[in-house]
């Protein structure tokens, strides 16, 4: 395992700015978009062994940065003009390779742009490249990528390399390590919030339907949702305001106006009721996590919120429910990768052999495992026993949240049951790895927005996150409570240490 090389680019204060600060700096002409972009490209060069990017696009980035500088000079700025971002390699980017972290799509260049990335382009952003990820977003440690694992910029005291979390580990590592100002990500069962917690940054999963899924490679269509990785809560609000919006090309896109999320950041939590679900107190949960959770409740109470213990009784069924439904949807969605229409093709003597050869060589072990599980639970004789029953339990989990939000405004939980683990100590048992998502999966099953806030350090000096879950389409309450937690925690990021 390779340790991270020193990064001379860290001496450049430009890569320490938040999105909001960079916007102000460009507006006041303290630096140009080209200078800002070059600072990130230099940082990407020195931290290339972090493997945060599958593909770097420096020429395209500098071209767009120059265009932004020309617009700024004319006073024609857009919401995120000149901001250099990383794009998770699950988003289709016109004319630029998109692999979903898989060999089966290596070299594939989409002929169209995803709605979310088009929205970001229209807002003036600069794309630095495509960030690494678990293959087809299936993983919790960014170790299933065909292009190799990502290394977390944080280190344990013994110097061991750590996972950045997954599946959006490349985006998390890029933002945490100064290789992108912010990044897009996706969350199917915790793939934004868990890596954000492991990497000491803010990770936002909006309400299902808030951001279009059009042009995002599908894992589990009823669970997938685009979101962002940022350095603070304000940046998350800025990103969501641009990424969100109704899209007629996506039948699950919600036809709601996008509010001005940034305006609520100073409203605080006075008068809000914060729910603490007793079922999230897991047996054997790390003591550092429990202490931080209690501290987070105290911070919100001191800011004027009322703390209320609540019950979400079907929480214990969330993980098994998820690992029936998500693989079932994946087995259907991934059927299109057959070696005929696009991507890898491994010839065979018959059509069936072509399918078999292509999929065997193109898909990694974890993807194959989930396809097989999904095909099994959808098969005749097992559909009612597994898939249909899981759908019924999912409805009960959603009902638990609906009842809870009749009494509270927002829910506070830990994001993960532990801090990041060392890459050479990763669990070999898939079920143990799946437990990384135990605290994040319920929000996906219920389609609710969630955000992870970096709030403290473990005894080993590694970042820990607190999660806020809000009612559907009420991301504003997450930003209000998240800002309070952020200010109370005064967390120092990797770039500030």
Tell me the catalytic residues. 88, 167, 191
Which two structure tokens, joined as six digits, stand for 310? 């609540």
Burial of residue 430 (CB within 10 Å: 0-12, 13-18, 19+) is middle
The angle subtended at Cα 472 by Cα 466 and Cα 476, nearest 5°, is 60
For 105, phi then psi, to 5°, come to -115, 10
- Segment (H or E) for 225: strand 225-230
User: Strand, helix or coil at 334?
Assistant: helix
The DSSP string of 3-24 is: PPPP-GGGG-GGGG--HHHHHH
- Strand ordering across the sheet containing 273-277: 53-56, 126-131, 84-88, 182-187, 225-230, 202-205, 450-457, 463-469, 410-414, 273-277, 306-310
Helices 19-27/33-46 angle, 10° precision: 140
State how far the Cα of 34 lies from the Cα of 50, in Å rounded to an integer: 24
Strands 126-131 and 306-310: unpaired
**DSSP symbol at 48:** G
Residues 229 and 201: beta-carbon distance below 8 Å: yes
State how far the Cα of 64 lies from the Cα of 361, in Å rounded to an integer: 37
* Alpha carbon 297 to its chain's center: 24
State how far the Cα of 102 lies from the Cα of 88, in Å rounded to an integer: 13
* Alpha carbon 334 to its chain's center: 21
State how far the Cα of 22 lies from the Cα of 15, in Å rounded to an integer: 9
Residues 165 and 142: beta-carbon distance below 8 Å: yes
Sign of the torsion angle spanned by Cα atoms 82, 85, 91, 97: positive
State how far the Cα of 254 lies from the Cα of 208, in Å rounded to an integer: 8
State how far the Cα of 188 lies from the Cα of 38, in Å rounded to an integer: 33
* Alpha carbon 367 to its chain's center: 19
């Amino acid at each position: 395992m390779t340790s991270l090389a020193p990064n001379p680019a860290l001496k450049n204060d430009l890569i320490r700015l938040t999105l909001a600060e960079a916007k102000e700096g460009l507006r006041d002409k303290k630096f140009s978009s080209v200078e800002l972009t070059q600072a990130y490209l230099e940082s990407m060069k020195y931290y290339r062994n972090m493997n945060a990017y599958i593909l770097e696009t420096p020429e395209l980035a500098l071209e767009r940065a120059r265009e932004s500088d020309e617009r700024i000079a004319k006073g024609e700025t857009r919401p995120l003009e000149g901001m250099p971002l990383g794009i998770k390699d699950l988003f289709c980017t016109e004319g630029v390779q998109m692999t979903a972290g898989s060999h089966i799509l290596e070299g594939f260049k989409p002929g169209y742009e995803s709605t979310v990335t088009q929205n970001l382009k229209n807002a003036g952003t600069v794309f630095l490249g495509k960030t690494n990820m678990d293959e087809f977003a299936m993983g919790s440690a960014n170790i299933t990528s065909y292009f190799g694992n990502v290394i977390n910029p944080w280190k344990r005291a013994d110097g061991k390399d750590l996972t950045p979390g997954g599946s959006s580990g490349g985006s998390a590592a890029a933002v945490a390590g100064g290789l992108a100002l912010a990044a897009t990500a996706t969350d199917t069962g915790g793939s934004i919030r868990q890596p954000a917690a492991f990497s000491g940054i803010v990770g936002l999963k909006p309400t299902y339907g808030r951001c279009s899924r059009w042009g995002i490679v599908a894992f589990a269509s009823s669970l997938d949702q685009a979101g962002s990785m940022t350095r603070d809560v304000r940046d998350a609000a800025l990103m969501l305001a641009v990424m969100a919006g109704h899209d007629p090309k996506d039948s699950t896109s919600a036809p709601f106006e996008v509010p001005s999320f940034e305006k609520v950041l100073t409203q605080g939590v006075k008068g809000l009721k914060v729910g603490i679900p007793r079922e999230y107190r897991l047996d054997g949960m790390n003591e550092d996590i429990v202490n931080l959770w209690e501290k987070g409740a105290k911070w919100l109470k001191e800011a004027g919120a009322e703390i209320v213990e609540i019950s979400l009784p079907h929480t214990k069924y969330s993980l098994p429910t998820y690992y029936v439904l998500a693989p079932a949807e994946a087995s259907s969605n991934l059927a299109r990768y057959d070696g005929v229409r696009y991507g890898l093709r491994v010839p065979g003597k018959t059509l069936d052999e072509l399918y078999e050869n292509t999929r065997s060589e193109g898909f990694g072990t974890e993807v194959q495992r989930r396809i097989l599980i999904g095909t099994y639970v959808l098969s005749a004789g097992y559909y009612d026993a597994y898939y249909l029953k899981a759908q019924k339990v999912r409805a009960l989990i959603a009902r638990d949240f609906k009842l809870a939000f009749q009494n509270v405004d927002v829910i506070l939980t830990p994001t993960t049951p532990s801090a990041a683990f060392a890459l050479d100590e990763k669990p070999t048992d898939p079920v143990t790895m799946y437990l990384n998502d135990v605290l994040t999966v319920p929000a996906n099953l219920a389609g609710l927005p969630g955000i992870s806030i970096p709030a403290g350090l473990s005894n080993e000096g590694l970042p820990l996150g607190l999660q806020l879950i809000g009612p559907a389409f009420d991301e504003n309450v997450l930003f209000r409570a998240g800002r309070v937690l952020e200010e109370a925690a005064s967390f120092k990021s990797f770039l500030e240490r």
